[in-house]
Amino acid sequence: MSELLGINHLTLSTTDIDRLVAYYTGLLGATLAFERAANSADPRIAVLDVGGLDHLMIVETATAPALDLDP
């Protein structure tokens, strides 16, 4: 069995991308590596460099996710 060596990237969704970017840049010292504005086909996204080869992608959604998700 192979060993897990790390996580290349992780994606989070939010209704307030500016607030979440500010939180992670302030808390982790992450830097904004890429940002794309929303268009008619795709949501707004931001990619944060959190060090090494690791990145955090944040996708802005119009509505909050449901809290009663079935695992």
Give the residue-averaged pLDDT of 13-17: 93
40-59 confidence digits (pLDDT tens): 999 999 999 988 888 899 99
pTM: 0.78
Give, in order, the Cα–Cα distances in Å from 60 to each of 4, 41, 51. Answer: 29, 13, 22
- For 71, the token pair is 């695992």
